[in-house]
Structure 1
Amino acid sequence: MDTREHLWSLLGVAAKVELFHTLHEQSVRRDPVLAQWMQNQPMKVLRNAGHWPRLVEITCWVRDHATAALYLRQIDVPGVDTKFIENNKGILSELLDHSLPHERIQTGAPRSDFAARYGFRSKPAYIRLRYLGSPPGPFSEFTVRATELTSKPAGICTVFVLENEVTYLSLPPVPDAIAILGSGYAATQLRHLPWLADVDLRYWGDIDTHGFAILSQVRARFPHTRSLLMDTATLLAHQEHWGEERSQTSETPRYLIAAEAKLEQSLRNGTYRPRLRLEQERIPIRAVVQALEGVRYEDPRST
């Protein structure tokens, strides 16, 4: 082989080499630093050749703009929308990691959270709550940004956190109390509400390994949290409503009291039935009313 061109021709890649050179020359004019990365990753460039110019433009746009007050939706590059960014987060992360100054990259954020990693505003967390006693105003229920719910609602002493919407809506009256809908892993939302440390906090989730994992996470942040209807007596009293947990969590809950930990291990080991679960919405309302009648306010500062 006398020249590289002869070699490219023999290998049948002459068109790909020419395409790479074209993309590289275009990129050099927009971002010389990015062009250096391209020299070390030619195959990645070629795999994304169909939309490479847009990837470069996004990288340069982020480089040239302050992003702290912006959502990804506000990236203003022709031919680019949030779907395009979502579909190309992997390659965009590599380009941005190479092109941005180190201080522009939030290394503490997980790589899966593209917006947080590159300093964009993330979708806000919302708290949905319902008054179980007499509401202080015209609304018995409302949804608010978690970061704006900075203080305890007036007159509230007890807070119930539930994962199931129907159970949340049908919870019977309790004086001076509110219910918060957790909608999945509640701890991710409750971290925004430091005032929960000053209320009698009760968590009620499914009796399964995921339910106890969530309880443990909530209690890790708020140690005074107590569970509701998540005990062996409740489980055994409602055998006709038993179901099956499709997949048990691999998480080992660290913040359970002894009775809760024993029940969680029984579920994990299949003591009563393999992958047993009792969903909270399957517990009859009369049992819920009875349990709530037994709830007495306790000052968290005394526990």
Structure 2
Amino acid sequence: SHTVPARAWVDTRLALWALLGVTDLVDRFHTLYEHTALHYPGLARWMTDHPMKVLLHTAAWHKLVRTVRWIRDHRAQQVYLREIDVPGVDTKFIETHKAILAELLDHALPENRIDAGAPKNDLAARYGFRTKPIYIRLRYLGASPLPFSELTVRAQELADWPPGVRTVFVLENEITYLSLPPVPDAIAILGSGYAAALLRHLPWLDDVDLCYWGDIDTHGFAILDQVRGRFPHTTSLLMDRATLLAHKSHWSQEKTQARDGLTNLTPEEAHLYQDLRTGTYRPHLRLEQERIAITTVREALTRHRG
């Protein structure tokens, strides 16, 4: 018979680490821990709770600590991530290490410096850095009160109603936006697929005739639905069944369809949207703005003005 040991006794931690073959790892962790505890004790507790995460970032650890300390010591609202001034740290470093930085910042910063509703991978939004401005591109369709017929401006600087504007057309397609014929007292805004996100910055749209024109496909109606969710008085232009059927030779295919469940469409729009979803005429059918005859566009604008 053989005697099988029920337990092993190791006298010291050093012996245990040697037995497990992790002496080098432990030494490395202790070196990082002691340096951090000396220069930034606020992270020491986190390190003891997450030693393996620390070891995964051994090569970058000191830069990570200095970055967190810089952010803690500088109120970030007035700077971009690009402006973090730590030797060896640039936007590439921050992007590469944003997951571990988010964990460290969540631990190191006071609650009022953290937007818990923002995702951890969006460091700028979560920790109060400046974000890239939102720009709005517009052109006057009538006489411009400015020496420019077209402008691209920061959304926050377009918070006031442009003088003399009574009608606003929002389009997704650039060449269609550029080729719109003259319309008195009107401007066109280029949405570029983000119309709903852009327009919410312009509260004065509540007080103008707002008209959205997108592709006749499920995504076009989804954007219209979002715009009308914020501006219920929005009308649509050339997004109807008659326009679709009159341009059959210009039909194309939508690669992926938008989600179902739109709630801000008129009955006619909703019926056409469902026909697009179910493939009544053709699976994944779409009619792009730029394929609609320019004479049809001019006639639609004339009707709209009338």
TM range (shorter): over 0.9
Task: Report which stretch shifted further, 224-233 or 273-282.
Answer: 273-282
How many angstroms does 1:12 deviate by? 2.9
Tell me the residue number matched to 2:102: 93
Matched, 1:144 2:150: no
Tell me the residue number matched to 1:301: none
Aligned residues: 297
Name which of 34, 38, 59 aligns with 2:68: 59
How many angstroms does 1:251 deviate by? 5.4
Give runs of aligned pairs for residues 68-79 of structure 1, distance below 5 A: 68-79=77-88
Tell me the residue number matched to 2:304: 295
The answer to whether the 8 Å contact 2:176/2:289 transfers is yes
Is the partner of 2:117 in helix, strand or coil? coil
The answer to whether the 8 Å contact 1:213/1:252 transfers is no
Per-residue CA deviations over 1:195-243 (Å, capped at 9, x if unaligned) read 0001000011111111111111111111100111111111111111111
Give runs of aligned pairs for residues 6-155 of structure 1, distance below 5 A: 6-155=15-164
For residues 242 and 34 of structure 1, the distance between their equivalents in structure 2, rounded to whole angstroms, comes to 60
Matched, 1:229 2:227: no
Name which of 10, 13, 24 aligns with 1:4: 13
The answer to whether the 8 Å contact 1:133/1:173 transfers is yes
Tell me the residue number matched to 1:207: 216
For residues 88 and 144 of structure 1, the distance between their equivalents in structure 2, rounded to whole angstroms, comes to 33
| TM-score for both structures, normalised by structure 2 | 0.93
C-alpha distance 279-10 of structure 1, shift in aligned 2 (>3 A): farther
How many angstroms does 1:26 deviate by? 1.6
For residues 115 and 11 of structure 1, the distance between their equivalents in structure 2, rounded to whole angstroms, comes to 42
Q: Percent of aligned positions with the same letter in both sequences?
A: 65
Matched to 2:173, the amino acid is: N
Tell me the residue number matched to 2:4: none
- Root-mean-square deviation (Å): 1.5
How many angstroms does 1:10 deviate by? 3.2
C-alpha distance 251-65 of structure 1, shift in aligned 2 (>3 A): farther
- The unaligned stretches of length 5 or more in structure 1 are 298-303
Is the partner of 2:77 in helix, strand or coil? coil
Is the partner of 1:50 in helix, strand or coil? coil
The answer to whether the 8 Å contact 2:254/2:284 transfers is yes
For residues 198 and 184 of structure 2, the distance between their equivalents in structure 1, rounded to whole angstroms, comes to 24
The answer to whether the 8 Å contact 1:245/1:275 transfers is yes
Tell me the residue number matched to 1:254: 263
Is the partner of 2:38 in helix, strand or coil? helix
For residues 17 and 209 of structure 1, the distance between their equivalents in structure 2, rounded to whole angstroms, comes to 57
Tell me the residue number matched to 1:167: 176
How many angstroms does 1:14 deviate by? 2.1
Is the partner of 2:95 in helix, strand or coil? helix
Matched to 1:253, the amino acid is: L
